[in-house]
Structure 1
């Protein structure tokens, strides 16, 4: 066996191993359990809240209708929120996307991460 033949075999072997490692690293791990630690859930709620506040800072109409809601009867608040976001569907879809990680975490971990009143409002908003 010549030196070049040996080097070619090693290169092919190394390429095969690297290919296998790469392929297994990018395969989805359907059987992996989601991270449902208190820290992860808290971080999800915290980062989502920060993102939502940032969004609302640049959308004063949405902020106004949502800030007014806690001081209104529930039916009135729901109607006002629905009316605003029906008139501004782009804002609804953007804010819904920002808030989605909370729902994703709740479904993955089969938990509720928001207090009851806020959870109910969240569910109603996300349902459209």
Structure 2
């Protein structure tokens, strides 16, 4: 297993261990994965139905200013911004319940890379 993959896996494991016990049920790797999976499925369906938003998010990574490109699109389309914000609400709620835990897409990708090696 690559060193970076092992470190990512260890970092993810330490994140789940450091979560307060008072709200342990949703604050586990499985709770996060279930919530994230549901949110991502809903976001995928939404983006399929809103090709402009899908294109803006898809093309943002090739932009010199990805954050600015996304901000510009959603400033011009506030309804889509609020729709996606509502779709993401379970992750926001989970973050609040679990002491501000945060797992980035890059961390999840590193975890999956570690598990598939």
Moved over 4 A (4+): none
1:13-92 equivalences in 2 (<5 Å): 33=23, 35=25, 36-73=27-64, 76-92=65-81
Q: Which has the higher contact order (CA 8 A, sep 6+)?
A: 2
Q: State how many pairs are aligned.
A: 85
Structure 1 gaps of 5+ residues are 1-31, 119-128
Greater gyration radius: 1
TM-score when normalising by structure 1: 0.59
TM-score when normalising by structure 2: 0.64
Q: CA RMSD in A?
A: 2.1
Pick from 101, 112, 115: which aligns with 2:102?
A: 112
Show CA shifts across 1:17-76 (max 9, x none). Answer: xxxxxxxxxxxxxxx635212111110011100100100000000000100112222xx2
Structure 2 gaps of 5+ residues are 1-21, 109-117
